[in-house]
Amino acid sequence: MASTRRPRQAGFTLIELMITVAIIGILASVALGQYGNYTRRAKISEVLLAASQCKISITEGYVAMVSAPPAGGWGCESAAATSHYVGAVQTSADGAVRVALANLDGGISGQYLHLVPVKFDGITPMSAAADLGSRIHRWVCGSDVAAVRNALPASCRADTTPYAAATFR
């Protein structure tokens, strides 16, 4: 008499399927959090682009101007929003740039991004009255608010609190 074997059933058990679904859920939650950071940084790159236009004007101004302009007199300012994420662009008398962040997360909208021209030491801010005719050695990029600094690219995360007290127009 021939023995009859039952064919072995193939497939996943319920526990294996539940573990797989749990792992996919954890990976998806991490990916969604990172996606939020990615989109915020992409929006802030637009703000950096707006600030870079002022940066070029001020860099050229330091070399070419013979007298220091007043705050808001560097020729690159804008009192109104220049794009969806960029509010007003303002400058100080020494050429520091302040850009208002607009239409972003509640924690960083209404805050500022600063670009500050500094001397060769990388810390001392340039003074238009004393340093016109010299070239700007470096720009310090960052914010005086920690939440904004965390959203900025790694090359632009300086604490600009000491520079934020300047008069901007």
**pLDDT tens digits for range 59-109:** 999 999 999 899 999 999 988 888 889 999 999 999 999 999 999 887 788
Confidence band for 9, pLDDT divided at 50, 70 and 90: confident
Alpha-carbon 65 to chain mean position: 30
CA dihedral 73, 76, 78, 84 (to 10 degrees): -160
Confidence of residue 1 (pLDDT cuts 50, 70, 90): low
Per-residue confidence (pLDDT) for residue 160, from 0 to 100: 92
136 CB-side CA count, 13 A: 23
> So what's the pLDDT on residue 3?
62
Every domain of the chain and the residues it spans: 14-159
pLDDT of residue 74: 94
Looking at domain 14-159, which CATH architecture does it have? 2-Layer Sandwich (3.30)
pLDDT in tens, 111-127: 999 999 999 888 899 99
Q: What is the dihedral of CA 101, 106, 107, 108, to 10 degrees?
A: -10
Mean pLDDT of the chain: 89
Q: What is residue 2's predicted lDDT score, i.e. its pLDDT?
A: 61
Taking the C-alpha atoms of residue 133 and residue 137, their distance in angstroms, rounded to an integer, is 12
**15 pLDDT tier (thresholds 50, 70, 90):** very high
Q: Taking the C-alpha atoms of 85, 91, 97 and 101 in order, what is their torsion angle to the nearest 10 degrees?
A: -20
Burial of 63 (0-12, 13-18, 19+ CB in 10 A): exposed
